[in-house]
C-alpha cells in the first residue's frame, strides 16, 4: 500500500469482524437472486449479459453483438441495437397496462405531497420533451439540470433522455463557480433550474447561482446557454433575463402530451456526471444508453430483490449524485417500481422524519448511506422506535465503507434483525453496483461488500498487479469490461486512460484499497488517492487546495481527510498565510476571522459541502525532498495522533514547528 493511503476509520474493527448472517429460508424461497446466477455468468459471461439486456430492456432494434472491446478501454456494448431510455423507464409500463401504478410518492419538506402514476409520468415527460424541443434542444445537445429533489427533476432527466439530449445534473449544493465550469465544459444549450427548494424548514434559492454562472466573466468564454427553464417551487423572488429565462409551467404545462421518443444507438450518450478526481478539475464521467440501462435495471432487480407489484422502494440519494441517477431514476423506473421521492433533510421538522415516511408509505426497501445511519445512531434509537418500520424487508448501504457497528445498528434497529443488508460498492465511473451481497443468497458480513455480482469480475492486487491471496490486501481492480462502465471523460480521452487504465496493464484501477478475507470476500478500505469521502460525497484534496490558494491571504495549502465518526472523513486544511497577512492569525480573534473567511471562500468556489471542518494556520508544510506534501503526517496531526515517521522530510524539524504552533494557545 502506498504511503499516502487513506483508510476507513473502522479498519481495526473490520479486520477482527467474523460475524455472518445467512439468509432465512423464507427470504431465500422468494428471492429474485439464485445461486446459479454466479455459475451461469462464469460459464458464459457475455451470454449472461446479453440475456439481461434482452430480458430487462426493450429494444426498438434488437442488438446482435454483445461486446466490442476492440477500442479498449472504450467499450461498446450491444452497439448495433437501438432503444430509448425514457421509453424503457415509463411508456412501456403504460403500454403493459400498468399506467395506474404509482411511480413516485413525492413528499416535499414542508409536507406537501404529490402522487405520480406511470401514466402521469408519461404525459409529464412527453410535455417536457416537447417543451425542450421548442426551446431548440436537439438530439445530442447537452442540458444542465440544477434542481432540488422534485418530481420535475425526474421528469427533466427523462425528457432529455427521450430526445437523446445528454443531461448533466449538477448537485444543488454546488456553487455558481462550480456550476459555471460544468456548464462550460459540457457546452450546455439549456439549464433547467428552480427558484429554490426547501431545506431545513426554509426556502433555499437556486436561481441566483444560475444567473451568476451565466453572467459574463473576464477570461471566461461566452456562455453557450440559450435558455434557462425555471421550475416554480418556493415562490421566492427571482431575477429574470428576458428572452433567456422561461418558466417551466409556461413552457411545459401547455405542451402536447404526445411525444415520439427518439430511438438512439446503444452507445449514444445518456448523461455526463461530474465527479472529483485527484486533480483540481472535475471529470465529466460519460455514460451511454444500452449497457448502462441494462446494468442499472439488473442490479436494481437482484440486489434489492425488487417485486414491483408489491414493494415500495426508497433511495434517499439526491439526483445530483450517481446514486440518484441509477437508483432513483433509471434502475427503479426501468423496473416499474413504486418509490418515495423526498425533497428535504432527515431532521426537518423532526429527527423522525425518515421513519415517519417509512411508516406512512410502508417502505419495504430502503437504500441510504452509512453517514446517515451513523447520524441516526447519534440521535438515539428511541427516535426510530417511535415508528412502525415492520414493512422494511431489504436495506441497502452505499457511498463509503460501513463500519460493523453501524451495520449492526442498521440491521437491529431499522431492519428488525431480519432484513438483509446489502452493502453495495460502486462508483460514478462504474455506473451501477459492482460488488454486493445478493439477498437470499449471500450470508452477509457486517462491513463487507463481499462479492462481485454475477457478470462482474473484481480482484484485489498488489503493487505488481498480482492477485493477492485470501487474507491479503492491496488495490481493488475490475478485470473485465462491464455494461455500465464509463465510456470516457467528456472531452478528455487521455485523462480517462491515464486515470483508470495506466496503473495496471489491462485492469481498471478503482482508486480504492481493499482486502480479501479468509473466505475470499472483499472488504473495502477507503481511497488510496487524494480523493476524500465526506458523508459519502467525493471531494478532491487538490480542488479544495486550489480554492484556498486562490484567496489573497493564502500562500500555500494542504488538505487532508481526517477520520470522523459521523461523516467518515472531515476536511481539514493546513494553510500558510502570505507574509503580509501572517500577523492576522496571531490573536485568537484574528485567527478565527481568517478561518471563517477561508471557509466561506471554499463554499463560494466549490460549494458548502467542501467547506473545511477545521483550518489550521501553520508556519510550514511537511514536504519530501522532491517537494511532495506528506499528507500522512498532516493526517496524524488532524487526528490528534503522535506524528509518524518523518525521516523522509526535507526538513525534519517542520513537524515540531507545526505541532508547537498548534499547541500554543492561539
Ligand atoms: C466509495 C458512489 C466502501 C469508494 C456510488 C468509491 C464505497 C467511491 C462503497 C465512489 C461501499 C462507494 N463500500 N466504499 N459500499 N460505495 N464507496 O463516485 O471509495 O460518489 O471509490 O459513487 O465511494 O464514490 P461515487
Mean predicted confidence (pLDDT) in 379-404: 95
State residue 383's pLDDT score: 97
Which band of pLDDT confidence, cut at 50, 70 and 90, is reported for residue 3?
Answer: very low
Strand, helix or coil for residue 424: strand
Averaged pLDDT of the chain:
93
State residue 652's pLDDT score: 73
474, three cell numbers: 492491496
Ligand 1, atom nearest to 527 Cα: 19
State residue 1's pLDDT score: 32
CB neighbour class for 32 (10 Å; exposed up to 12, middle 13-18, buried from 19): middle
β-strands 113-117, 102-107 pairing: antiparallel
Which band of pLDDT confidence, cut at 50, 70 and 90, is reported for residue 584?
Answer: confident
340, three cell numbers: 418515495
State residue 7's pLDDT score: 35
**φ, ψ for residue 552, nearest 5 deg:** -50, -35
CB neighbour class for 640 (10 Å; exposed up to 12, middle 13-18, buried from 19): exposed
Strand, helix or coil for residue 617: strand
Residues pairing with 265 in the sheet: 82
* Complete DSSP assignment for 556-593: EEEEEEEEETTTEEEEEEEEEE-GGGGGGGGSHHHHHH
Cα–Cα nearest to 415, from 397, 391, 445: 391
Which band of pLDDT confidence, cut at 50, 70 and 90, is reported for residue 525?
Answer: confident
pLDDT in tens, 626-647: 677 888 889 999 998 888 777 7
The answer to whether 461 and 479 have CB atoms below 8 angstroms apart is no
Q: Is the pLDDT of residue 13 over 60?
A: no
ipTM of the complex: 1.00
Query: Per the annotation, does 94 bind a ligand?
Result: no
Ligand 1, atom nearest to 397 Cα: 15
Sequence-distant (6+) residues with CB within 8 A of 413 are: 381, 384, 385
β-strands 312-315, 338-342 pairing: parallel
pLDDT in tens, 318-354: 999 999 999 999 999 999 999 999 999 999 999 999 9
Ligand 1 centroid to Cα of residue 625, in Å, is 33
DSSP 609: G
High-pLDDT (> 90) share of the chain, %: 81
Query: Per the annotation, does 423 bind a ligand?
Result: yes
Q: Cα dist. 249→252, 253, 467 in Å?
A: 5, 5, 56
Kindly report the CA angle at 277 between 612 and 165, in degrees rounded to 5?
Answer: 115
The answer to whether 320 and 173 have CB atoms below 8 angstroms apart is yes
Ligand 1, atom nearest to 423 Cα: 15
Which band of pLDDT confidence, cut at 50, 70 and 90, is reported for residue 420?
Answer: very high
Mean predicted confidence (pLDDT) in 172-180: 94
CB neighbour class for 657 (10 Å; exposed up to 12, middle 13-18, buried from 19): middle
Which band of pLDDT confidence, cut at 50, 70 and 90, is reported for residue 574?
Answer: very high
Helix (H) or strand (E) holding 313: strand 312-315
Helix (H) or strand (E) holding 531: strand 531-534
State residue 659's pLDDT score: 79
DSSP 640: T
In this structure, the residue with its CA closest to atom 8 of ligand 1 is 427
Ranked by mean pLDDT, the top range of 431-435, 522-526, 627-631 is 431-435
Whole-number CA gyration radius for the chain: 24
Q: Cα dist. 336→90, 297, 330 in Å?
A: 8, 10, 10
High-pLDDT (> 70) share of the chain, %: 96
In this structure, the residue with its CA closest to atom 13 of ligand 1 is 401
In this structure, the residue with its CA closest to atom 15 of ligand 1 is 425
Q: What is the pTM of this model?
A: 0.90
In this structure, the residue with its CA closest to atom 1 of ligand 1 is 400
Amino acid at each position: 500500500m502506498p504511503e499516502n493511503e487513506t483508510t476507513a476509520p473502522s479498519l481495526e474493527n473490520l479486520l477482527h469482524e467474523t460475524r455472518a448472517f445467512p439468509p432465512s429460508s423464507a427470504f431465500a424461497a422468494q428471492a429474485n437472486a439464485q445461486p446459479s446466477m454466479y455459475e451461469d455468468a462464469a460459464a458464459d459471461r457475455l451470454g449472461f449479459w446479453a440475456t439481461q439486456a434482452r430480458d430487462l430492456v426493450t429494444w426498438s432494434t434488437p442488438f446482435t453483438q454483445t461486446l466490442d472491446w476492440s477500442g479498449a478501454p472504450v467499450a461498446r456494448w450491444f452497439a448495433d441495437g437501438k432503444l430509448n431510455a425514457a421509453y424503457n423507464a415509463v411508456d412501456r409500463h403504460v403500454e403493459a397496462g400498468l399506467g395506474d401504478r404509482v411511480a413516485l410518492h413525492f413528499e416535499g419538506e414542508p409536507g406537501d405531497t404529490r402522487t405520480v402514476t406511470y401514466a402521469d409520468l408519461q404525459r409529464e415527460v412527453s410535455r417536457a420533451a416537447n417543451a425542450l424541443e421548442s426551446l431548440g434542444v436537439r438530439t445530442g445537445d447537452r442540458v444542465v439540470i440544477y434542481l432540488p429533489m422534485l418530481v420535475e427533476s425526474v421528469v427533466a432527466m427523462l425528457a432529455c433522455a427521450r430526445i437523446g439530449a445528454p443531461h448533466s445534473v449538477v448537485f444543488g449544493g454546488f456553487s455558481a463557480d462550480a456550476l459555471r465550469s460544468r456548464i462550460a465544459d459540457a457546452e450546455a444549450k439549456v439549464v433547467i433550474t428552480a427558484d429554490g427548494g426547501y431545506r431545513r424548514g426554509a426556502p433555499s434559492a437556486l436561481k441566483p447561482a444560475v444567473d451568476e454562472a451565466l453572467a459574463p466573466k473576464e477570461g471566461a468564454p461566452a456562455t453557450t446557454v440559450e435558455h434557462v427553464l425555471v421550475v416554480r417551487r418556493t415562490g421566492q423572488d427571482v431575477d429574470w433575463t428576458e428572452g433567456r429565462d422561461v418558466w417551466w409551467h409556461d413552457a411545459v404545462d401547455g405542451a402536447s402530451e404526445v411525444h415520439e421518443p427518439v430511438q438512439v444507438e446503444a452507445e449514444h450518450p445518456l448523461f455526463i456526471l461530474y465527479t472529483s478526481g485527484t486533480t483540481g478539475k472535475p471529470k465529466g464521467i460519460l455514460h451511454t444508453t444500452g449497457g448502462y440501462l441494462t446494468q442499472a435495471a439488473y442490479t436494481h432487480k437482484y440486489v434489492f430483490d425488487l417485486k414491483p407489484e408489491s414493494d415500495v422502494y426508497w433511495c434517499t440519494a439526491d439526483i445530483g449524485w450517481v446514486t440518484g441517477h441509477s437508483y432513483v431514476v433509471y434502475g427503479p423506473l426501468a423496473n416499474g417500481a413504486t418509490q418515495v421521492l423526498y425533497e428535504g433533510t432527515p431532521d426537518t421538522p423532526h429527527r423522525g422524519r425518515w421513519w415517519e415516511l417509512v411508516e406512512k408509505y410502508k417502505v419495504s426497501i430502503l437504500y441510504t448511506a452509512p453517514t446517515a445511519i451513523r447520524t441516526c445512531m447519534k440521535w438515539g434509537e428511541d427516535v426510530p422506535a417511535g415508528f412502525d418500520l415492520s414493512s422494511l424487508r431489504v436495506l441497502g448501504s452505499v457511498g463509503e465503507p460501513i463500519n460493523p457497528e453501524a451495520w449492526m445498528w442498521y440491521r437491529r434497529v431499522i431492519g428488525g434483525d431480519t432484513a438483509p443488508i446489502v452493502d453495495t460498492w460502486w462508483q460514478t465511473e462504474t455506473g451501477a453496483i459492482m460488488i454486493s451481497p445478493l439477498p437470499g443468497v449471500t450470508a452477509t458480513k457486517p462491513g463487507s461488500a463481499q462479492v462481485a455480482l454475477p457478470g462482474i469480475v473484481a480482484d484485489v492486487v498488489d503493487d505488481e498487479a498480482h492477485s493477492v491471496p485470501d487474507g491479503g490486501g492491496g488495490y481493488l481492480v475490475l478485470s473485465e469490461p462491464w455494461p455500465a462502465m464509463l465510456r470516457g471523460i467528456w472531452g478528455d480521452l487521455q485523462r480517462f486512460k491515464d486515470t483508470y487504465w495506466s496503473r495496471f496493464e489491462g485492469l481498471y484501477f478503482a482508486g480504492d484499497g481493499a482486502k480479501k478475507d479468509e473466505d475470499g470476500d472483499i472488504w473495502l478500505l477507503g481511497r488510496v488517492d487524494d480523493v476524500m469521502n465526506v458523508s459519502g460525497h467525493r471531494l478532491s484534496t487538490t480542488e479544495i487546495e486550489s480554492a484556498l490558494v486562490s484567496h489573497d491571504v493564502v500562500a500555500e495549502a494542504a488538505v487532508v481527510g481526517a477520520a470522523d465518526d459521523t461523516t467518515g472523513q472531515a476536511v481539514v486544511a493546513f494553510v500558510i498565510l502570505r507574509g503580509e497577512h501572517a500577523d492576522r492569525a496571531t490573536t485568537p480573534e484574528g485567527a478565527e476571522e481568517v478561518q471563517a473567511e477561508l471557509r466561506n471562500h471554499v463554499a463560494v468556489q466549490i460549494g458548502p459541502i467542501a467547506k473545511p471542518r477545521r483550518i489550521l494556520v501553520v508556519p510550514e508544510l511537511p514536504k519530501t525532498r522532491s517537494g511532495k506534501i506528506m499528507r500522512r503526517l498532516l493526517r496524524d496531526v488532524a487526528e490528534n495522533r503522535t506524528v509518524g515517521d518523518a525521516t523522509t522530510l526535507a526538513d525534519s524539524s517542520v513537524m515540531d514547528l507545526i505541532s508547537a504552533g498548534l499547541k500554543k494557545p492561539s
